[in-house]
Amino acid sequence: MTIGLEKGQRAVVTGGAGFIGSHLCERLVERGLFVVAVDNLSTGRAANVEALAGEERFTLLVADVTEPFHVDGPVHHVVHLASPASPLDYLALPLETLRVGSAGTENALRLALEHDARFVVASTSEVYGDPLEHPQPETYWGNVNPIGPRSVYDEAKRFTEALTAAYARTLGADTGIARLFNSYGPRMRREDGRVVPTFIDQALAGEPLTINGSGEQTRSLCYVEDTVRGLLALMESSFPGPVNIGATVEMTVREIAEAIAAHAGVELRTEYRPPTEDEPGRRRPDIETARTKLGWRPEVPLAEGIKRTLDWWQTAYPRDTARDGVNGSSDIRSEAA
């Protein structure tokens, strides 16, 4: 039986030191929950949860969820966000990405089942592949290349959904599936490789903004605060999903570059590079399910989200620091983390 978020409850967040996971942990602690963040720090960072370091209700457990793990004491919610999500990460860690989507998901599901906890998993818009239906509703089954370079992430998440649904049907697990679209905001890694951090870093450095392909491919950018509100709404509900969580303002990659340059106060200069294999041409969620089932919709306008991200970026990454691993890719993905 589903229980809402109540003060004193305990939540386990895999990938809790990641971009989205760290923001979720903060919101849960603010609401009075005890939180155990489980992360192997392969793509997450302990610095993301530094603000919670002295909080008695927060624990960071450094562990790999692809190996069986146990959490002592009561657990009321399990949120499975662990996974490489940036293309740079999952192309560098292909087998690890597949394992966290399979073994990691099953270990998280087993933990939830053991404690009779609500289980929410972050899937991704990547399950739709290069969509032939636009915008993408949850009923669309996708157009995915199962053996291409991106397949390690796409198929890991599709398997994650299948496994979650099977645990619900077969074992009675209380589950919810969130399909996260492109999220952005503070705590994205400088070397992340996705379009927003890449464009921001290039703009602030006075460099050309690099665009893969024509720049006419579209994305819908959702500020991390809104993404987290969507996850919280799914946690509080008994809705199994899947449910799209994302913004509905569709922009070309070229338009995203223009917006970031304008907010950074620099003249837009671009450099075009070859297109990325199997990159989706269009991406925009149909969020009617989120509106009707969860009462959720995005609230932070793009201009405000970019301003907040730029302000954070200039503090987190002063211009005299090295740019570790930035390769100028403008490919973007949702993070489940």
- The residues carrying an active-site annotation are 153
Helices (H), 265-325: 288-289, 302-316
Tokens of 8: 């004193």
Pairwise CA distance, residues 249 & 255, whole Å: 12
Pairwise CA distance, residues 143 & 130, whole Å: 6
Long-range contacts made by residues 261-266, C-beta under 8 angstroms, separation at least 24? 261/199, 261/203, 261/209, 263/303, 263/306, 263/307, 263/310, 264/200, 264/203, 264/204, 264/310, 266/203, 266/204, 266/206
Pairwise CA distance, residues 17 & 25, whole Å: 8
Residue 126 near residue 333 (C-beta atoms within 8 A): yes
Sign of the Cα torsion 223, 256, 179, 82 reads negative
